[in-house]
């Protein structure tokens, strides 16, 4: 907001603030239900005492223009529809009733706290700036030939990139596939979205790890899916629960992040992988394998990837989803899906309807990156992430032993801490923020997922 009160005026500052909002509301620029800025932050922005903003809001409340509700701040009164000289549509109603669900309020709070550079942010789920391959990407941009990369992309993504990916997936994960079975997507997030839109329908039930990757949950609920939790322990998810969920709820698909799982850091054991494949094959339930972190093996480990898609031998059961976000840079927005060709064609068709395919220049950049810089960068990255994981574990050991227990992840980005005593989520987050650290809370990972239904 650019507006500022004028200290040289006779009118008290709090009244100027109240009048300012009054005119915004009357002119329809602030719609019923819309929030006014939080008192403390707004006072800081204006350079006035918080009590001045409190008095201004109290004056607005007295006129009935705004309402304050404990815990959700001050908003324009819902009764204000029709007060405006201009007839504005009920935007709030539109936004609340549309099929796409808003982000959980707690995630929004985390996001806004994350913009504060003075805080240590452990909730980002992305590489810190110093670990991004900036120099390599810059060099590739200079060298890049864009002669044939400015038209619309092939609906499945650039053939060159898909060929390169086949090579890459074989070397990095032991996954054998061909370009016909690959669709390039805008990050693996879009891959998950396309799977839900093209293969599932509102009301369908799915099983997924509890806890599960936080940003997949609202995506699935927006698609009208019913979500059921598959319990996870130190060896990953429990395959027997998949059978039970099928018997109880007829789940139609299972979503798993079996290697260095977000958020628990666990890896599904080989015996459970085989058991899961057997159960899903018998029940004919497809598995979506999210391999976002599978290449980030710490401790110089040469651990075999054991991707479900390779263990099965017949990829018709498993849809594999991958991305450059965790090993290179999330800003590239390059992800991919490997699936049976009929499924790929269906999703490519949907993607074309949505956005006419991928950005051709970035696909060429990703192609060159995978052909040249990727291996060296990954080695440096895993070396550095191993160091950082170790110092985090040491810090937990010296500072948090009485508070919580945690695991030692063998790969990926996540350390999952379980509190020894119950503390409310809001209280915990506020305490962390006040102490300069931002962490993500278990609740955003759908631990009480069946309530998502």
Q: By the criterion CB under 6 A, which residues form the site for ligand PLP?
A: 125, 187-189, 213, 257, 262, 290, 292, 323, 325, 330, 335
Nearer to ligand PLP, 330 or 409 (CB): 330
Nearer to ligand PLP, 32 or 236 (CB): 236
The string of DSSP codes covering 24-88 is HHHTTSS-TTPBPPPHHHHHHHHTS-HHHHHHHHHHHHHHTSEEEETTTEEEE-GGGTTTSSS--
In 291-444, at which residue ranges do the beta strands (DSSP E only) sit?
318-323, 335-338, 404-406, 417-419, 437-438
Structure tokens at 111: 């996001």
Nearer to ligand PLP, 25 or 127 (CB): 127
Nearer to ligand PLP, 125 or 210 (CB): 125
Minimum CB separation of residue 3 from ligand PLP in Å reads 37
* Cβ-closest position to ligand PLP: 187
Minimum CB separation of residue 155 from ligand PLP in Å reads 19
DSSP state of 154: P
Minimum CB separation of residue 255 from ligand PLP in Å reads 10
d(CA 25, CA 63): 12
Minimum CB separation of residue 263 from ligand PLP in Å reads 8
Nearer to ligand PLP, 57 or 213 (CB): 213
Minimum CB separation of residue 317 from ligand PLP in Å reads 20
Read off φ and ψ for residue 121, nearest 5 degrees.
Answer: -100, 105
Q: Are 446 and 428 in contact (CB under 8 A)?
A: no
Nearer to ligand PLP, 33 or 125 (CB): 125
d(CA 17, CA 130): 42
Q: Minimal CA–CA distance to 449: which of 275, 287, 208, 246?
A: 208
Q: Minimal CA–CA distance to 127: which of 375, 342, 326?
A: 326
Minimum CB separation of residue 227 from ligand PLP in Å reads 15
């Amino acid at each position: 907001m650019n507006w500022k009160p004028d200290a040289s005026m006779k009118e008290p500052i709090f009244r100027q603030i109240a009048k300012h909002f009054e005119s915004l509301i009357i002119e329809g620029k602030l719609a019923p239900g819309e929030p006014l800025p939080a008192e403390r932050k707004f006072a800081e922005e204006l350079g006035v005492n918080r009590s001045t903003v409190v008095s201004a809001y109290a004056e607005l409340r007295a006129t009935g223009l705004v309402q304050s509700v404990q815990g959700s701040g001050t908003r324009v009164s819902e009764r204000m529809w029709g007060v405006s000289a201009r007839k504005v549509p009920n935007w709030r109603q539109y936004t609340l009733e549309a099929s796409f669900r808003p982000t959980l309020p707690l995630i929004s709070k985390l996001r806004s706290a994350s913009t504060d550079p003075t805080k240590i942010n452990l909730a980002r789920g992305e590489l810190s700036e110093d670990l991004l391959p900036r120099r390599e990407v810059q060099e590739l941009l200079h060298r890049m030939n864009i002669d044939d990369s400015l038209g619309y992309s092939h609906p499945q993504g650039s053939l060159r990139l898909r060929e390169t990916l086949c090579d890459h997936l074989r070397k990095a994960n032991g996954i054998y596939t061909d370009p016909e079975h690959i669709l390039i997507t805008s990050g693996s997030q879009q891959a998950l979205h396309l799977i839900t839109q093209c293969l599932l329908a509102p009301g369908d039930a799915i099983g997924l790890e509890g806890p599960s990757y936080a940003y997949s949950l609202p995506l699935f609920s927006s698609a009208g899916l019913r979500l059921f939790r598959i319990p996870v322990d130190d060896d990953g998810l429990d395959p027997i629960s998949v059978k039970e969920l099928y018997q109880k709820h007829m789940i139609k698909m299972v979503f798993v992040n079996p290697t260095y799982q977000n958020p628990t850091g666990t890896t599904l054991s080989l015996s459970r992988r085989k058991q899961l494949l057997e159960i899903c094959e018998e029940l004919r339930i497809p598995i979506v394998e999210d391999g976002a972190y599978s290449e980030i093996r710490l401790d110089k480990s040469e651990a075999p990837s054991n991707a479900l898609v390779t263990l099965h031998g017949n990829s018709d059961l498993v849809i594999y989803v991958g991305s450059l976000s965790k090993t290179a840079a999330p800003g590239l927005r390059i992800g991919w899906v490997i699936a049976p060709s009929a499924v790929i064609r269906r999703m490519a068709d949907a993607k074309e309807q949505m956005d006419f395919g991928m950005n051709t220049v970035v696909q060429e950049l990703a192609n060159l990156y995978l052909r040249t810089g990727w291996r060296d960068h990954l080695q440096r990255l895993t070396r550095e992430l191993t160091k950082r994981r170790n110092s985090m574990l040491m810090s937990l050991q010296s500072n948090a032993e009485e508070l919580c227990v945690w695991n030692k992840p063998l790969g990926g980005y996540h350390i999952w801490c379980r509190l020894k005593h119950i503390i409310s989520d809001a209280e915990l987050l506020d305490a962390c923020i006040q102490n300069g650290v931002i962490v993500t809370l278990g609740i955003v990972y759908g631990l009480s997922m069946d309530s998502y239904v």
